Structure 1
Amino acid sequence: MKNISHVYETPPAGANTDWTVPQNWDRFSADEHAMWDTLFARQTAMLPGRAADAFLRGIDVLKLSRPGIPDYRELNAQLMAATGWQIVAVPGLVPDAVFFDHLANRRFPAGNFIRTPEQSDYLQEPDVFHDIFGHVPMSADPVFADYMVAYGKGGLRSLGFCALDHLARLYWYTVEFGLIKQPNGMRIYGAGIVSSYAESIFALEDPRPNRIAFDLLRVMRTHYRIDDFQQNYFVISSIDELLTVTVETDFAPLYARLDILPDIAASEVLANDVLIA
């Protein structure tokens, strides 16, 4: 799979109109299952003391009856019982409207492929390890699960405001690369961090990145990097804060403000930023 792109303009052969495909768990090879097991063991060994409490609690839904890539029939039974969410397989990245609709209806679309050993430390396209290991544990938390639904519904509304770039930044800096300040210290909860061995260490322990208190407008003005570690991470005080801000904010006037305010560079620190140690 090394040189295969999983980006499509239209649903590929075998995909439904909502871009879902059968998982076909039995078609994964022994090497692909072994790749999952290697990544899973590596991450679960290093995340205690680094990952958010909610993430560590949610890991239990991934401890299924057999090793290897999770079988969604078994995984979804546990996830549905926890928060009403389910995982659907997709061939790769899906269009924004399709993605938002899945989230709004408590479905998380997961790429139906896994990285090769050569890609174990970095993969630009989200694979099944990123999507399942990175996202499912937090989706087992009821408050975070509701945040994801609110984001999906907000995403569908945003299509009428031409605001996708700004809304994507909110997802990037929370769902993918978010930090949380717990009473027991700074922790990671974003899927892009917890599924990456190197960035799990960098985000918490390296002195170079800025760790900035979460502010919705600030986040939605800020560019991000897709080809390297982040220079700025945004820190929430609780998952409840994230849900409350998302649900209680009227995004229409916020989008109007974002249209006239300048964007902020991915590494820039503003005078009024609150930096968190």
Structure 2
Amino acid sequence: MSADGFTNGPPAEARPDWTIDQGWPDYTAAEHQIWITLYERQTALLPGRAAEPFLRGLEALDLHRSGIPDFARINVELNRLTGWSVVAVPGLVPDEVFFDHLANRRFPAGQFIRKPDELDYLQEPDIFHDVFGHVPMLTDPVFADYMAAYGRGGQRATQRGQLANLARLYWYTVEFGLLQTPQGARIYGAGIVSSHAESIFALDNPSPNRLGFDLERVMRTPYRIDDFQQVYFVIPSLQALLDATLQDFGAIYDRLEQARDIPIAEILPTDEVLTRGTQDYAAARAAQ
């Protein structure tokens, strides 16, 4: 939920830290029904696809109930489990605001929900993407520590002017990450678990590459914001992801300044290739 290019302060209805009241009593019955429709569709699809920490988080937070969750309710259990809370924001927030919230174990979430004709895609993340997609993983202590570490890392990357590299790490883990398990790859990234179509594509489609996670490799790889991903990175464990993030990034940033970006579909000789994709989907889209 971060974005650069902000030149003004928070909107009039927001506090200095860009938070707003969720306004839960103001949701309409129709808006609650959209949440229920999305929730039931995704939870029917995710068993056997989503990582166990995500599924446990869904159960722990009881995100179904009668519709859109009340942040005040789910924050009680979330804070008890990992010290995190969800705060409402009016939309995308400046990078420095986003990183400050994460570093202090607050997840900024949009409080609006998509329209009935946007069930499968919308440009700006809504409450279903942010809360259903992101928040269950924050009940896992290791992933919760990773997100806080990422927030602190974002503050340092801002000072160095290397947010582009760090944003790729967020994209390929928090948004579109896969986790290796004894049963095969499972999805945990919010952009996948909140999307009916990408929950299928990410695991089943022969088009994308699926590569073993390597921190510097990920930070050199651009990403797609407008369509399904051409490459997914598979972490061996949440602990391995956290350990990679806790190291000093200074030397990594020095190397990245001298390194070229790796084209999205390219496979390097040093890559751990789990699936060598056909890239047929991306090629067909490009030909349209």
TM-score range, shorter chain: over 0.9
1:28-67 equivalences under 5 Å are: 28-63=27-62, 66-67=65-66
Equivalent position of 1:4 in the other structure: none
Q: Deviations over 1:127-160 (max 9, x none)?
A: 0000000011100000000000100011111111
Q: Which of 246, 249, 253 is the equivalent residue of 1:255?
A: 253
Give the C-alpha shift of residue 64 in structure 1: 5.2
Over residues 158-203 of structure 1, what are the superposed CA-to-partner deviations in whole Å (9 max), with x where a residue is unaligned?
1111010000000000000000110111100000000000000000
Q: Percent identity?
A: 63
RMSD between aligned residues: 1.3
- Aligned residue identity for 1:104: A
CA displacement, residues 177-235 of structure 1 (integer Å, 9 cap, x when unaligned): 00011011110000000000000000000011000000000000000000000000000
Q: Please list the CA deviations of residues 100-145 of structure 1 after superposition, one character each: whole Å capped at 9, or x if unmatched.
A: 0000000000001111111111112110000000011100000000
Q: How many Å separate the matches in 2 of 1:166 and 1:256?
A: 12
2:274 aligned counterpart, secondary structure: coil
Deviation at 1:271, TM superposition (A): 2.0
Match of 1:144? 143
Instruction: Report deviation, 1:89.
Output: 0.1
Equivalent residue for 1:115?
114
Moved more, 25-34 or 84-93: 25-34
Q: In the alignment, residue 233 of structure 1 is paired with which amino acid?
A: Y
Structure 1 stretch 258-267 or stretch 125-134: which is displaced more?
258-267
Question: Where does the alignment leave 5 or more consecutive residues of structure 2 unmatched?
Answer: 276-288
SS in 1 for 2:229: coil
Counterparts of 2:63 and 2:40, CA distance in 1: 14
Give me the TM-score of the superposition, normalised by structure 2: 0.91
Equivalent-residue separation in structure 2 for 1:207 and 1:82 (angstroms): 38
* CA distance in 2 between partners of 1:144 and 1:64 (Å): 19
Would you say how many aligned residue pairs link Structure 1 and Structure 2?
270
1:233 is matched with: 232
Conservation of the 8 A alpha-carbon contact between 1:61 and 1:75: no
The match for 1:266 is 264
Shift of 1:10: 3.3
Q: 1:262 is paired with a residue of what secondary structure?
A: coil
CA contact (8 A) 1:21 1:90 kept: yes
Q: What amino acid is the match of 2:181?
A: Q
Q: How far apart are residue 38 of structure 1 and its match?
A: 0.4
Instruction: Report the 3-state secondary structure (helix = DSSP H, G, I; strand = E; otherwise coil) of the residue aligned with 1:67.
Output: coil
Find the aligned partners of 1:146 and 1:137 in 2 and give their Cα distance.
14
Query: In the alignment, residue 11 of structure 1 is paired with which amino acid?
Result: P
| Structure-to-structure mapping, 1:68-217, within 5 angstroms | 68-217=67-216
How far apart, CA to CA, are the structure 1 residues paired with 2:203 and 2:80? Answer: 32
Q: Residues of 1 paired with 2:40 and 2:134: CA distance?
A: 17
Q: Which amino acid aligns with 2:257?
A: D
Write out the 4+ residue segments of structure 1 that deviate beyond 4 Å after TM superposition.
none
Match of 2:273 in 1: 275
The AA in structure 2 aligned to 1:113 is F
Partner of 1:211, secondary structure, is strand
Match of 1:3 in 2: none
**Secondary structure of residue in 2 paired with 1:167:** helix
Letter in 2 for 1:258: L
Distance, in Å, in 2 between the alignment partners of 1:120 and 1:22 is 25
Give me the whole-angstrom Cα distance separating, in 1, the residues matched to 2:204 and 2:100.
36
In structure 1, C-alpha distance between the alignment counterparts of 2:252 and 2:269, rounded to whole Å:
21
SS in 1 for 2:160: coil
Whole-angstrom distance in 2 between the partners of 1:62 and 1:129: 14
Amino acid at match of 1:155: G
The CA distance in 2 between the partners of 1:67 and 1:10, in whole Å, is 35
Classify the secondary structure of the residue corresponding to 1:157: helix
